[in-house]
Each structure stands twice: as structure tokens, then as C-alpha cells.
Structure 1
Amino acid sequence: HLEVTLNRATFDKLTRHLVEQTITPVRQALADSGLSADQIHKVLMVGGSSRIPAIQEAVKRITGKDPFKGINPDERVAMGAALQGGELGGEVTDLLLLDVTPLSLGIETVGGVCTHIIERNTTIPITKSQIFTTARNFQSSVEIHVLQGERQMARDNKTLGKFQLTGIRRAMRGIPQIEVTFTIDANGIVNVSAKDLGTGRQQEITITASSNLSQEEINRAIFEAQQYAAADARDKAEATARDRAEQLLYQAEVVKKKIPKEDRSKLDELIKQTKKALKSKDSSQMADACDTLESALAATGVSMDEQYTSTPNTEPDGDYGEDTTYDADFSVVDEENQTQDN
């Protein structure tokens, strides 16, 4: 048993780092809500430690308001849990309680990019779908790598699960339509399904541990996303530019076979420049080369449908004919036009 008498100044000094840790989530909550401090009507304090004067002073400094003291802070969590239990059980009907996802959910796509489908702080229950496609010719299956986190690259986020969608109709890259749907119920249980819209084949996975994160883990994930935002943006830009360059190079090789021989020299030069940019790993160089090549392909008058009528024996050289599962080798088709139901 240890009993020590401390004055206020010493206590504040010993607990200053703890007070500072509470400031970050308060500011993050304000930023996530889209509200400014002067739009906050009341600040409720939760937990016995909220009685510490330094905590109350920090809250007032950030929000400009004195913490509300009309409810016992030791009882607030229990009262909130009781109300939520009553609402879920149907006994409380005049109260709307909203829960949100603590971190974003998504899947790994070509280039190792994490494509978010449900963003952090989305109200649940929620269902969102997004269309993807294959990144290789005659690809008959894909692996769905389900991720949780705020980073832009898959390797930096938490893996929640993986499953395969097989039996995709063999077609040229970019043709199959694969609908990936995330559903989160009121209990935070996540169901992820992938459906080939061409064949109707579907696979799914249910994840029950997605919400088993401590507040410290959530805060750390958010902090790291902010800390490494610039580096992540560069990595994503390079991966996106590389994917675009590879697709355009493939299209260019197909188009070459469909235009007069006298028109091929210019296209050959642009293909050479794009390959050089691809080797540089510089996203801006790749983007410039892709813009030029894309314009040249459009000028040939060969439509996308015509490009994809090629048969395997007229393919350009490359590993396109294997009946293989390509990890994360499928691309976003329609990122903006997502379906949503909540």
C-alpha cells in the first residue's frame, strides 16, 4: 500500500502526457463531424478521470465551453449501454442511437492499393457495393483480400480475411464485372461478398472481429495515416499510374495489328516512351506518357470493343493465357458510382 501527497502542480506535471493523449481524439472527432467548436452545444464528460481540472481546462480550451456537469460521469457509460440495449431489444422506441465504423474497410486492388469501400465513421447498419474487373486476360478467379485501416496501400492495413471467387468467365482484361459488396449489421458484423455479374457466381465471408479494436489501436491507425499521408499518396500514385500504363501498353499492342503498317511507326515510338516512363517509376512521367499514348490510340479510330475481339493466338507476347488466380490483380471500374443502402 502506498500513499503519497501531491500538490496540483506536481500532479499536473505527472499526468500532462495523459491529458495530451485525450486532446487528439477530441480534435479528430471535431474534424470527422465537419463541425467547428462554436457549433457544439454541450460537452459531456465520461469517466471519473474527467473530474481532473487539467482535463476540464483542456476541453474548454478546445471547445470554448465548460464541460456539462449535470450527469455523473461515472454512470454515463452504463446509462448509454442500457439505452442502447433497450433500443436493440425494442423496449426503447423514442430514441435514435447511431453507431459508426471505427476504421475504413476495403479490399486490395492492382498495385497493392487499398481501395476503401466503406469509409471510417460511416453510420451502421450499412451496405455498399462497388464494381471491379480483372487485370489479366482470361483470368478465371480472383482473391478478395479484405482490409481495415486508413492507409492507402494494402500492406499497411490490417487483414480481416481472404477468399476466392472462382469460375469467372474467361475474357479479356477489363471485361468481367465483379461486384464486391460490404454489409455491416447493427452488431458490427461484416459480410463481404463478390459476385461475377456475367455468370452469377458468388462467394462471401463473414467477419465478426472487425470491431474488436481498442481505442488505442484505432487512434494509432488514424495517427499513422496522417503521419504517412504524403508517402502513401506517392506510393498510390505510382501504383495507379503503373496500372494505367500497363493497360494502355497492352491496348497499343492490340491496336498495332489493326492499323495500316505505315501508321505503326508513330505508335511504336509512343509505346517505347511509355515503357521507358514505366521503368522510371515516376508517376508524373508515367501520367504524361499515358496521356500521349491514350490520345494516339483514340486517334486510330479503333474502338475498345474492336480491341477486345482478339483471340488468344493473336495476343501480344506476355503471360496472358494462364488459368491462374492473381492476388489483388483486379481493378476499380466505377469508384464514384457506388450503390449504398443504410
Structure 2
Amino acid sequence: MIEFIDGNEAIVKGAIDAGCKFFAGYPITPATPILLGMMQELPKVGGFAIQAEDEIASIGFCIGASMAGKKAMTATSGPGISLYSENIGLAIMGETPLVIVDVQRQGPATGSATKDGQGDIQFIRWGTSGGYPIIAISPTTVEECYTFTIYAFNLAEIFRVPVFLVSSKELSMTRTRVDWSKVEKPEIIDRKYPPEDTPDYKPYYFENIDDVPLFSPFGGKHIIRYTTSTHDEYGNLLTVPEKIQKMMEHLDKKINEEKVKKYFPYAVRFDEQEGAETLIISYGITARSAIEAVERARENGYKVSHLIINLLWPVPEDEIKKATRNIKRIIFPEMNNGQYVLEIERIVDKSKVEIVRINQMDTTLINPQKILNEILKSK
């Protein structure tokens, strides 16, 4: 089947196919079509979609639904993520499976509500107190909006953590032709429950520091406690420093690059050209301009490789290091003031590699010619 759809519609379709049964959100450009789509489609599969009174209530509803056993999703843009912040921390502390769609727009604050941007990249990682890890994946195409939404639900279930699907205005609201016969539908991974007759069930028990506790829902056979505070394996508040240290290390260690890549095989897309000393690194909507720029450069005899990063957090350091071997010049276009490039500068040896930033914040997409102009300086 062939459809003419946009990224927001693909996300709705992916969520339904992933088994999402609860959605709550508040209208905000450019994520509102996801709210409307879920309100239309979820009741058809026995689910519930709610327009809450604000963003704080929206994510709170989703946390409650998830802890009651439902796959849950919310969607917003940058200002909504600001309001989500405290409850994102709660979801991390309570080890709550949750998918959060961030359809980015130009910020800060209200910014340019109907224009594109990529300014939330660091915020979604570091926007809660404590700095504990989340997972964030970034589609480049409408097809990936669908496929990555399913992967986002899978990752949330596997790791019991909020997972961000990071889109942006142009990707989410521009229609394109999709041939569904060529679009991957990942295997659906559901929540793992302990047997109902498990004696002395401990909702936050882990044997190894990086284990993920088995989930049991509120309203089931087991006693469940849920708190924003540091707690023991039963959910009781902790005051013992040694036990608090162990719990905090668990929240940090249960998410790492290798474990996430095991369940998300699209951490990067590396288009390598033999002999290239120039590398373009991109993600999200900007990657589409970079793809065209690379094609045009090669047509003109320039050797250039291209790395698209789909797994933003945790950072796919191994793939980045591999892609930057024998590279003398990295060109990194972003529609912000230089955010994810900080991770590249942290990983590579800047004494051996020149890193060229292309930062554009005028609400327009980065033109392929702008990237091509930088490539042409490499020869």
C-alpha cells in the first residue's frame, strides 16, 4: 500500500502498531497532529487518548497509565519538554516505561512556533535534576518516524526508562510518498512480568548493577510503591548512603551504548567513501540536506563520507570513532548554536581533526549548497 503522509501521521501509526494503549497531550505546534491522531485512532484499538489541561498533567497521566500496565506515549515540543522536566525525573526514578515525542521547533521559550529547529538536543538529555541517562533516537525520514516509534516503545519496555523520539517541524509536517511494502516493522517487545504468585516481590530489585527490574503493575497481585525519592528494592525511602549509592549507580549503568544498540540496530548510517579525508556528520532533518550535498560533491570529484547519527543518547561513541579514522576534516551542520557537535569534539582528537561547524538559527532549513560550499573548501 502506498500513502501520502507526514511524520506525525507515521508516528501515530507506529505507536498504534507498537501496542500503545494510552496517550495524553496538550495542543502545541508542531506536535498537535499527534494528539489529534491518537484521539482518533486509539479508541479503535481499545485505547484511551486524553487532551489534558496542560503539559504537566499530560505526562503525569502517562506515568500513571504506564505504571498501571499500559504502553503510554505523549508528544510535545520544546516548551512542553520544559514543563515535563520534573515528571521526566520521576519516570527515571520510578523506572517507568514511557515514550516522549519531541517535535522540535525554534526556541528558546515560545520562539518561532511554526518554524523548524534542533535546539532541544542537549536539553532532552540533561533537562532533569541528577543528570541520569535517558534514551533518545532521531529519525531522518517519514518511514523512520514509523519504524523508530516502534523501536522507541521496545526500548522503553526493555530498559524501563523514558525514551525520546526526536523529530522536528519540517519532518513531522511535510507529506511524502510512503510505500509500506518497503517499510520495516520491527518485532514488538512487550513488558516482562513476574509470576503473580512470586513470594516477596521486590519492584525495584536488581542482582547486577545494570539489570532492569521485572515490572508488576499497580492493581495487580503485588504491592507496588512509587516515589520520587531514593528508595530500596521495595520502594521504601532510603537514608543509608551505601544503598543510595548503589541505587544511583544502577540508574546510571542500566543504560549504555552497547546494550541499547543490541535492540536498536540503526544507531548510525555510515556512507563511507574510500580515501575520503572529509566527513559530514548530521542527524534528523538536516541529514537530508547533507545527503544531497554529499551526492553533489561526489559528482564533482570530491571524496567525502557521511555519518548520520540516529541514536543521539547514549552517544554511539564506537561508531563515531570508527567513522573518524583517517579523517582530517569534519563538517557538522546543525539548526542550533552548536550542541551535538560538542559530543564530537569530546570524542575526536581535535589536534588532528579540524571540526567545522555550520550553525543556522534563522528558522529555515540548512540548504545543501551551504554544506557543499564547506566541502569544496576541502580540496
By the TM > 0.5 criterion, same fold?
no
Scaled to the shorter chain, the TM-score interval is under 0.3
Q: Going by fraction, where is helix more abundant, 1 or 2?
A: 1
Q: Normalised by the size of structure 1, how large is the TM-score?
A: 0.25
Q: Normalised by the size of structure 2, how large is the TM-score?
A: 0.23
Larger radius of gyration: 1
Higher relative contact order (CA 8 A, sep 6+): 1
